[in-house]
Homo-oligomer: A and B are copies of this chain.
Amino acid sequence: MVVCKKWVLCTAFIGPPEASNFKLETEELPDQLKSGEVLCEAVYLSVDPYMRLFSVPVGSVLMGEQVARVTKSENPDYPVGTFVQIMVGWRTHTILSDPSKLQKVVGTGDLPTSLALGVLGMPGMTAYFGFLEACRPKSGEIVYVNGAAGAVGSAVGQIAKIKGCTVIGSAGSDEKCKWLKDELKFDAVFNYKNASLEDALKEHAPKGIDCFFDNVGGEDTTVVLKHMNKCGRAAICGGISQYNKDKKDKGELPYSAILINLLHVEGIQGWHHVTRWPEGKADMLQWIQEGKMKYKESVTEGFENTVPAFIGLFKGHNVGKAIVKI
Residues of A within 8 A of B (CB): 53, 214, 217-219, 221-222, 236-239, 242, 248-256, 258-269, 272
Chain B residues with CB under 8 Å of A266's CB are: 258, 262-265
CB-based nearest B residue for A264: B266
In the docked arrangement, what's the CA distance between A217 and B255, Å? 6
Closest to A242 in B: B256
Cβ–Cβ contact A256 & B262, under 8 A: no
Please indicate the chain B residues that have their CB under 8 angstroms from the CB of A249 in the complex: 253
Q: Which residue in chain B gives the minimum CB-CB distance to A241? A: B255
17 more A-B residue pairs beyond the given contacts A238-B259, A262-B267, with a C-beta to C-beta distance below 8 A: A53-B260, A217-B253, A217-B255, A217-B256, A221-B255, A222-B253, A248-B253, A248-B256, A250-B251, A250-B253, A254-B254, A258-B265, A258-B266, A261-B267, A262-B272, A264-B264, A264-B265
A–B complex contacts, Cβ < 8 Å, 19 sampled:
A217-B259, A219-B253, A221-B253, A221-B255, A236-B259, A237-B259, A239-B255, A239-B256, A248-B252, A250-B250, A250-B251, A253-B253, A253-B254, A254-B254, A260-B267, A262-B267, A264-B264, A264-B265, A264-B266
CB atoms of A255 and B242 under 8 A apart? yes
Copies of this chain per assembly: 2
CB distance from A237 to the nearest CB of B (A): 7
Residues in B neighbouring A259, C-beta threshold 8 A = 217, 236-239, 267-269
Complex Cα distance, B263 from A268, in Å, reads 8
Of all A-B residue pairs in the complex, the 7 with the closest CB atoms, nearest first, are: A258-B267, A259-B267, A265-B265, A262-B267, A217-B255, A236-B258, A236-B259
